[in-house]
Structure 1
Amino acid sequence: MRSARAGTLRSTALATSLALVVGLAAITAKAWAAEDAPAAKPAAQDTASKGAAPKTATTKSAAPKAAASKSTTAKPTSTKTDAAKTEAHKPTASKSSAAKPDAAKAAPAKTGAHKEAAPKATESKSTASKPATASKPAAPAATGSLPNKPAPVRAAAPTLVPATRQHAAPIARKPVLPAAVAATSSTSQSDKEALASVVELLRKRRPSDATEAEASISDPVARKLAEWLILRSEDNGASVERYRAFLDANPSWPSQTFLRRRIEASLWDDRRDDSAVWAWFQNESPVSAKGRLALAKVMLGRGDRGNAERLVREAWRNDGMSEDTETTALEMFGSFLTAADHRARMDTMLYGTDNEAAGIREAKRLGSGYLALAKARIAANRKGSNLRAQLEAVPSELSGDTGYLFAKIQLLRREEKFAEAARLMLSAPKDPARLYNVDEWWVERRLLARKMIDVEEFRTAYLIARDAALPARDIYKTEQEFTSGWIALRFLNDPSLAAQHFARIGVGSANPTALARAGYWQGRAAEAAGRGQEARAAYARAAEQSTSYYGQLARAKLGLPQIELNSAPRGRGADRLEIVRAVALLYEIDARELAIPIFGDMGDNGDPEALAGLGELTARHGDARGMLLMGKAALNRGLPFDHYAYPVNGIPSFRQVGPEVEQSVVYAIARQESAFNPAVVSPAQAYGLMQVTPDAGRYVCKRAGIGFDLNRMKTDPVYNAMLGAAELGGLLEDYRGSYILTFAAYNAGRGSVKKWIERYGDPRDPKVDAVDWVELIPFSETRNYVQRIMENLQVYRARFGGGTRLQIDADLRRGASVE
């Protein structure tokens, strides 16, 4: 994702058709944002505006001089990620999406194609170096095989122990319901025409007419699909009873939570009587602020004040609400709320920029001191130049407020006063009840811990990571344990301590990346401690995850020659299933974009038999985007959908106009950049399959001696792929064939890569551990990006080349033989 993990990207096609009506939900990878991401707007890495962290020693090598280009045209200064631009003015998002893989706050500037544009719900849930050898990780053993003895060690650091805490038990997945079987096996032409009419009427915002057209459909599957589309559309006027009838009859259909939220909104907005509300919640728990408030009203009427208060407080402290909903809630339940509840809401709403207006409203209710604090928090979110002045305006009695401490730590880190920031962080509360948003606190700890690595304060870096309150999201739990263990192993030279952290990664998870990361780093820790047999066993566990970066590294450690991919699962009579028939109908009426939420939801929650049928269907229709969305989500559940998660038909044939680039590299990039959506546009104005920016397009055309056509770059997938491949080829030429540097620059820009070479060494240097170099990349989105492209590359070689050998070890060291 040209940078990141990913603000909302919009497809031009969807924007003109469905985005206004059908409200496509975010589907695959969940947003990723991050203050440390090289993103276009709000949250670029802090070092972007102030330069690299102070070097602690002279580096041995400067950035290599780029090869002379064929043109004297200056290289484009803007990056797909805008990482080279100043980080000021980038407000960060606090909304906890589902997937932020490896990043945390703002949206990725280059791409987030995995996430589809969707109308925002009214009541949304808010969550709330190279430097000298001393700072370089301990020298590793040869990557290709296990050593006979452990690598040399540095002087022992002070003894450290992992923090003791109770980890949450693995979350039990909701049982997957079998997909419903269709009553008929075919649909008449007249029914298809009526279904197409329903779609067209919804696009014209005429849901009542669409309902009339639906009534003429006789085929049960086609009619059910029409009803699902109508219920997902905006302002459809559907009653609670209509929603409920659909959900009761179709528990295995997609969008269950989406439609439940619609029901809860209707119960509250339409002031439905207590009996209707009570009937709905007999077998359901609220999933939205309006649902909680509606049920609280009924509970109060039934004399259950305790549960009513609990529901109101839960909604007030945690949920986003419109100003009108807030006002009504205060009128009805204001006496339930204490000053502590109002402080909690203010604090929750001010982690990030999504709900700043709600935070300000709450601050005004609390008084002038809290209003000053809220303004300071907003200045911190937006990286305002007046943050110090805003903090100084906060009354002294609020200087111990956790939100104040959070903003002060951010300020000190951005001012590069890392020691002061670390002291304040280590003294900050760790009780989740006082932090309100443990994930945002973890992100800040991660940023600061990496700064402490840069200035060689390794023990402090470890303590900052280790002592974090347990994050809420699984991705951050994994990241917290990994960061702690990695620092312990590679900087404190304490493999025993590191192993304890690595052992907690991925517990109870089926996610291939988490499982492979856990096994690989447990192997590295055991290897460093001289426990070869234990290391091999750990690497073997990681190696089972052939599609994962760490699994591929583990296979290289074990000397395994190839990665193992699962063949496409076969659906046994899947065409008889309703949801498969429904998607087939969308293809037949040329409305495949409406299947996007189906693919994502089914990938996350669907019956494997139905998924196999959907996979076969997408393959028949050459729908690479649908294959990827469904296959990737299924693969993350541990299902054997490798074949569909890595489609080989997503890029049209094109002519290469620059230095030749391997086909698998182009596919690896496009899969990550656009998820094979040729119409996607990033907030940084990067376009199409390869997320090419206008500046980059002009530059590569000039370099190749061909004409540049901006409109074609935006609309023609063949031309877009040609330009993206040419840009990759130019980067590979300039970086002497280094994939690490090429991929990092494609995401974060040449300027960022130059700084990282100066700070952490050159990964082409045999003395530099390439795996550690990638882990040291300070932008979490770029770090993740390079790993994902590397793993994609290995899989695509296997898909295109049949028995192609695993080359990740050589790919990480590419360019090293050229001096």
Structure 2
Amino acid sequence: MKHFLLIIMLFLTVPAWAEDLMLSASEKQFLKDASKGNYRIIQSARPDLQMAALWLYADNNVEKLSDKQLEYLLNLDPDTPRRNSFLREQERRFSNFYTDSDVLEFFKDREPQTWEGFEKLYPALKRNGQSKKAKTMLKDWWIKGVFTPDVQKDFYRKYKKDLSQEDHYNRLQYLLAPNAGQYTNARRVADLLDGKGWEAYVEARIALQNPNNNKFNANGALDRLERVNASLLNDPYLARDRFYWHKQQEKEENNLRAVDILAQAKPLTGVLPNPDGYWVQQRIVINRLIAAKEYKAAYKLASINPFKEGEAKADIDFKAGWIALRKLKKPDLAAKHFKDMVEGVSTANSRSRAAYWLGLAYRSAKQSFNAERWFSEAAKYKYNFYGQLAMEEDVCLVELNGAGDDNMTASSEIMNSPLRHIYAYLLQIDHPYNAYSFLRALSYKAKGANDYRYLASFAKEQGSDFHSLMIAKEGYNIHHYEVGKEAFPVLDKNILEGLELKALVHAVIRQESGFDPKATSRVGALGLTQLMPATAAKEAKDLEMTYRKEWLTSRPEYNVTLGEAHLKRLLEINKGKHIMRVLAGYNAGMGRVAEWVDIYGDPGKEGVNPVDWMESLPFNETRDYVRKVLENFMSYNAMFNNKDLNKDKLSCR
């Protein structure tokens, strides 16, 4: 133990270390052993190496840590990855001999994360004149807590005197939220609510949420709904499940009925568990109604907006505004929705989108001053698609060689943090996911653009273009910092020289894999250009090249050659067509594109605005993919050709 404490002292007293970050084979093995549960103390000239080993060991063995080791990890850095896991373990070890003052001091700057922690803090607060804070915490835990049925029963037994009927109703909504599936607990909470009909209410909602379950066939779900007390039929949460049931029937009459159900229900003004889950269902029906040209119904549904913040609110504000402007030809109404959106978003992506469309709405309303004001706001975001559309000047040229300082340093909080060296070490033992969590932790300390530029440059120096790009994009999108050349990586010279479609290939790679040559998607797409193996095999055959699946992730030049060949094939298939068709096909397949052309028209053809076509796409992933590849292309095209893409074919203006 003395040896361990000595090492801790070294950890805490060593200043910014020399930049000798390359590990020896034995040091790498030491870290790999720790990650597999074999932790030991070693003598090392790198005090931070022991830190890395202890963290790797704790990541999968937190319950085996000594109290001293656990305390050390918690004191290492407030941004240390997995810190919440370490806090939970410390709470579980609470001694019965802790005094109220010990407990209050422990939770001075944080909320409890475990049942053990809650049971210590709640009575301590009540005994020490903080009953209001205790009551707020109790209600929050009861309403949102994910408990086993036994823990829920125990919680209620202990604290029922401090819980209200409103608390039980709100807990019921969390238990029955989209994808929650807490049906046993929901049935038991229904028994706690006053009045009749809550059991039937819960059973109806369970049936409506499971329309494909043979136990709840169409008639079964509707039969259960008929048993619900009339006073509960307009309950906004029940209405959401009725909406979902109709959506799942996939018939036009059901889509229209779904809209009426939400419109007639009481407004959803209370708790909103899983807002994204509710919004996904609403968005699907809106897209169906647009495809069916039921624009009034689509707007009616898009104008039902219970969302207070986040992606759900921004997305529904946009949908309502876009339908009002493009389909209902009501620019004043559209401007209201786009203004709501622009006031509620902060990222570069969302700000540029909201500002650009608000400018279009004002332009259609013949308010030229306001239109130009918002086009100018959108144009501030020159690396974003809508900012590029709004710009009257050329896209800002991103220099290939950049203006960065190779000897750049960051703020002392970053330079002196042990997290910086641990990041480099984890990359060297092939732990890229864990390593990135340390880089993100360092970004929380960033005080400005220079810190983000340093972190992006540092990641690139350590061999990860992917991490460099991700941190540069974060600096730009979240904080609107100019982050330099790391935001637009370039392939190695030996690959670059063989490319014909330089800008397009780079644009696709930046979006597909983030320049991670080993990237593997959840559906099996591989490497820099994220080719499916079957597609890669076909392209290799046509090029008379040997096909090896493993080469897609081990040989970047091989992957890029096949990826460019596939892009050329799609360009040939769509010769004379708009580039959006090619990009949508690369992401979703040309079969899907053919369906969308039948429904929404052919982008670029007379009467079919390409940007409106893109915004109509029912798959968020494909729509965002097309937009992001195009914005990447604009910047890469400027880099390679010192000129901009002809924006006339893209602009709505």
- TM-score scaled by length of structure 1: 0.67
Cα distance change of structure 1 residues 589 and 770 upon mapping to structure 2, 3 Å threshold:
closer
In the alignment, is the contact (CA less than 8 A) between 1:552 and 1:563 conserved in 2?
no
Q: Does 1:595 align with 2:435?
A: yes
- Per the alignment, residue 725 of structure 1 pairs with 564
Corresponding residue SS for 2:18: coil
Alignment of 1:212-361 (within 5 A): 212-213=41-42, 216-217=43-44, 219-235=46-62, 237-238=64-65, 242-248=69-75, 250-251=77-78, 253-255=79-81, 258-268=82-92, 274-275=98-99, 276-286=102-112, 292=118, 294-299=120-125, 307-321=133-147, 326=152, 329-330=155-156, 332-333=158-159, 336-337=162-163, 341-353=167-179, 355-356=180-181, 358-361=182-185
Bigger helix fraction: 2
Alignment of 1:452-491 (within 5 A): 452-473=289-310, 475-491=311-327
- Per the alignment, residue 465 of structure 2 pairs with 624
Once residues 768 and 188 of structure 1 are traced to their aligned partners in structure 2, the CA distance between those partners, rounded to angstroms, is: 58
What CA deviation, in whole Å up to 9, does each residue of 1:196-239 have, x standing for no partner? 35521222123xx24x24xx345454454445445544435336
In the alignment, is the contact (CA less than 8 A) between 1:346 and 1:362 conserved in 2?
yes
- Per the alignment, residue 7 of structure 2 pairs with none
Alignment of 1:53-64 (within 5 A): none
Q: 1:405 aligns with which of 239, 250, 264?
A: 239
Q: 2:259 aligns with which of 422, 425, 431?
A: 422
Cα distance change of structure 1 residues 699 and 384 upon mapping to structure 2, 3 Å threshold:
farther
Once residues 531 and 709 of structure 1 are traced to their aligned partners in structure 2, the CA distance between those partners, rounded to angstroms, is: 59
Once residues 382 and 399 of structure 1 are traced to their aligned partners in structure 2, the CA distance between those partners, rounded to angstroms, is: 23
Q: How far has the Cα of 1:772 moved from its partner? A: 0.6
In the alignment, is the contact (CA less than 8 A) between 1:195 and 1:217 conserved in 2?
no
Q: 1:550 aligns with which of 386, 402, 412?
A: 386
AA partner of residue 362 (structure 1): A
Q: How far has the Cα of 1:306 moved from its partner? A: 5.2
Q: How far has the Cα of 1:438 moved from its partner? A: 3.8
What CA deviation, in whole Å up to 9, does each residue of 1:179-205 have, x standing for no partner? x99714327899977853552122212
Once residues 313 and 623 of structure 1 are traced to their aligned partners in structure 2, the CA distance between those partners, rounded to angstroms, is: 45
Q: Does 1:563 align with 2:396?
A: yes
Q: How far has the Cα of 1:777 moved from its partner? A: 0.7
AA partner of residue 260 (structure 1): N
Once residues 651 and 370 of structure 1 are traced to their aligned partners in structure 2, the CA distance between those partners, rounded to angstroms, is: 65
Once residues 350 and 731 of structure 1 are traced to their aligned partners in structure 2, the CA distance between those partners, rounded to angstroms, is: 45
In the alignment, is the contact (CA less than 8 A) between 2:317 and 2:341 conserved in 1?
yes
Q: 2:486 aligns with which of 644, 650, 666?
A: 644
Once residues 650 and 259 of structure 1 are traced to their aligned partners in structure 2, the CA distance between those partners, rounded to angstroms, is: 38
- Per the alignment, residue 524 of structure 2 pairs with 685
What CA deviation, in whole Å up to 9, does each residue of 1:534-571 have, x standing for no partner? 3233222211111111001111xx2x123355955557
- Per the alignment, residue 800 of structure 1 pairs with 640
AA partner of residue 797 (structure 1): N
AA partner of residue 108 (structure 2): Q
AA partner of residue 376 (structure 1): A
In the alignment, is the contact (CA less than 8 A) between 2:236 and 2:262 conserved in 1?
no
In the alignment, is the contact (CA less than 8 A) between 1:619 and 1:627 conserved in 2?
yes
Structure 2 residues not aligned, in runs of 5+: 1-11, 192-198
In the alignment, is the contact (CA less than 8 A) between 1:458 and 1:487 conserved in 2?
yes
Once residues 622 and 273 of structure 2 are traced to their aligned partners in structure 1, the CA distance between those partners, rounded to angstroms, is: 28
- Per the alignment, residue 17 of structure 1 pairs with none
Once residues 789 and 325 of structure 1 are traced to their aligned partners in structure 2, the CA distance between those partners, rounded to angstroms, is: 49
Cα distance change of structure 1 residues 812 and 519 upon mapping to structure 2, 3 Å threshold:
closer
AA partner of residue 629 (structure 1): M
In the alignment, is the contact (CA less than 8 A) between 2:507 and 2:632 conserved in 1?
yes
Q: How far has the Cα of 1:708 moved from its partner? A: 3.5
Cα distance change of structure 1 residues 642 and 812 upon mapping to structure 2, 3 Å threshold:
farther
Cα distance change of structure 1 residues 384 and 423 upon mapping to structure 2, 3 Å threshold:
farther
Corresponding residue SS for 1:537: helix
Between 1:780-789 and 1:579-588, the stretch displaced more is 579-588
Cα distance change of structure 1 residues 241 and 494 upon mapping to structure 2, 3 Å threshold:
farther
- Per the alignment, residue 396 of structure 1 pairs with 228
Q: How far has the Cα of 1:699 moved from its partner? A: 3.5
Q: Does 1:778 align with 2:614?
A: no
Q: How far has the Cα of 1:740 moved from its partner? A: 0.5
Once residues 188 and 37 of structure 2 are traced to their aligned partners in structure 1, the CA distance between those partners, rounded to angstroms, is: 39
Once residues 561 and 319 of structure 1 are traced to their aligned partners in structure 2, the CA distance between those partners, rounded to angstroms, is: 53
AA partner of residue 454 (structure 1): A
Alignment of 1:656-735 (within 5 A): 662-713=501-552, 715-735=554-574
Cα distance change of structure 1 residues 428 and 190 upon mapping to structure 2, 3 Å threshold:
closer
Q: How far has the Cα of 1:527 moved from its partner? A: 1.8
In the alignment, is the contact (CA less than 8 A) between 1:512 and 1:638 conserved in 2?
yes
Q: How far has the Cα of 1:775 moved from its partner? A: 0.8
Q: Percent identity at matched positions?
A: 24
Alignment of 1:604-623 (within 5 A): 606-608=446-448, 609-623=450-464
What CA deviation, in whole Å up to 9, does each residue of 1:472-501 have, x standing for no partner? 32x233222222222222122222222222
AA partner of residue 620 (structure 1): E
Q: 2:475 aligns with which of 628, 634, 645?
A: 634
Corresponding residue SS for 1:432: coil
Corresponding residue SS for 1:778: coil
In the alignment, is the contact (CA less than 8 A) between 1:344 and 1:436 conserved in 2?
no
Structure 1 residues not aligned, in runs of 5+: 1-179, 814-819
AA partner of residue 350 (structure 2): A
Q: How far has the Cα of 1:629 moved from its partner? A: 1.8
Q: How far has the Cα of 1:313 moved from its partner? A: 2.5
- Per the alignment, residue 513 of structure 1 pairs with 349
Q: How far has the Cα of 1:791 moved from its partner? A: 0.8
AA partner of residue 452 (structure 2): L
Q: How far has the Cα of 1:441 moved from its partner? A: 3.2
Once residues 292 and 798 of structure 1 are traced to their aligned partners in structure 2, the CA distance between those partners, rounded to angstroms, is: 57
What CA deviation, in whole Å up to 9, does each residue of 1:335-361 have, x standing for no partner? 5555654553343244333x42x3443
In the alignment, is the contact (CA less than 8 A) between 1:666 and 1:725 conserved in 2?
yes
Q: How far has the Cα of 1:325 moved from its partner? A: 5.4
Q: How far has the Cα of 1:603 moved from its partner? A: 3.8
Q: 1:740 aligns with which of 580, 584, 596?
A: 580
